[in-house]
C-alpha cells in the first residue's frame, strides 16, 4: 500500500515527532518505539494526559497536542481507532506545517485519514515507524530475532 520510497522520504524528512498515547512503562510498545526513535536522532515529544509533567526521553510529557509550542513534523498515534478523529483534528489545528499522521499497527481510520490528506498531510495507517526504519535503513537481520523469526540454528 505504501511504497518503500514514500516511507523512506517520510522518515528522512521528519525531525520532530509527537507520540500520542506513549507509556512510561518500558515493556509497552509505545515506550520502546518512542525511545528507539529518540535514539535515532528524532526529537520525540511524548503526549499522554495521565503522565503530563513527567519526563520521558529527555522531554516533558504533554497532556495534549495543543500544549506543544513548537512545530511538529509527524504525529504518531498509539490510541484506539475511535480516538483518531479527535487526535487528527487537534493535530491539524495545532500544527499548520504538519507533514505526516502515522497510525500504529492495528490503528486505522479512513475518515480521519481523508481529512488529513485533504489538508496535504501524508497519512500512514497500520504501520510502525520503528519497524519501517529498521527495514528501510538496513537494521533488520534476516532470520534473526529482529525480524520476529526465530532461527532453528540458535
Residue 58 lies in a domain: yes
Question: Is residue 92 in a domain?
Answer: yes
- The rounded distance, in Å, linking the Cα atoms of 106 and 82 is 12
Is 140's pLDDT higher than 70? Answer: no
**Residue 124 phi/psi, 5° resolution?**
-120, 130
- Residue 19 in any domain: the answer is yes
Q: Which three cell numbers stand for residue 40?
A: 535515532
- In this prediction, residue 142 carries a pLDDT of 54
pLDDT-derived band at 150, boundaries 50, 70, 90: very low
Would you say 133 and 139 are in contact if contact means Cβ atoms under 8 Å apart? yes
pTM: 0.89
Q: What's the count of helices (H) and strands (E) in the chain, helices before strands?
A: 5, 7
The more confidently predicted of residues 92 and 142 is 92
Specify if 122 maps to a domain: yes
Residue 144 reports pLDDT greater than 80: no
| pLDDT tens track for 25-38 | 999 999 999 999 99
Structure-derived torsion over alpha carbons of residues 94, 95, 100, 105, reported in degrees to the nearest 10: -30
Q: Is residue 152 part of a domain?
A: no
CATH code, domain carrying 108: 3.40.50.720
Range of the domain at 109: 4-147
Q: What's the structural domain count of the chain? A: 1
Whether 104 maps to a domain, the answer reads yes
- 10 Å Cβ neighbour count for 119? 12
Amino acid at each position: 500500500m505504501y511504497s518503500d520510497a514514500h516511507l523512506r522520504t517520510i522518515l528522512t524528512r521528519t525531525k520532530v515527532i509527537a507520540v500520542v498515547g506513549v507509556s512510561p512503562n518500558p515493556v509497552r510498545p509505545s515506550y520502546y518505539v518512542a525511545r528507539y526513535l529518540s535514539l535515532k536522532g528524532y526529537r520525540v515529544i511524548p503526549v499522554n494526559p495521565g503522565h503530563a509533567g513527567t519526563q520521558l526521553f529527555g522531554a516533558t510529557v504533554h497532556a495534549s497536542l495543543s500544549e506543544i509550542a513548537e512545530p511538529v513534523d509527524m504525529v504518531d498515534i498509539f490510541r484506539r481507532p475511535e480516538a483518531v478523529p479527535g487526535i487528527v483534528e487537534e493535530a491539524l489545528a495545532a500544527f499548520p506545517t504538519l507533514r505526516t499522521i502515522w497510525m500504529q499497527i492495528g490503528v486505522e481510520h479512513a475518515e480521519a485519514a481523508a481529512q488529513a490528506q485533504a489538508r496535504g498531510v501524508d497519512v500512514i495507517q497500520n504501520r510502525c515507524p520503528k519497524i519501517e526504519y529498521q527495514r528501510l535503513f538496513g537494521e533488520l537481520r534476516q532470520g534473526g530475532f529482529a525480524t520476529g523469526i526465530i532461527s532453528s540454528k540458535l
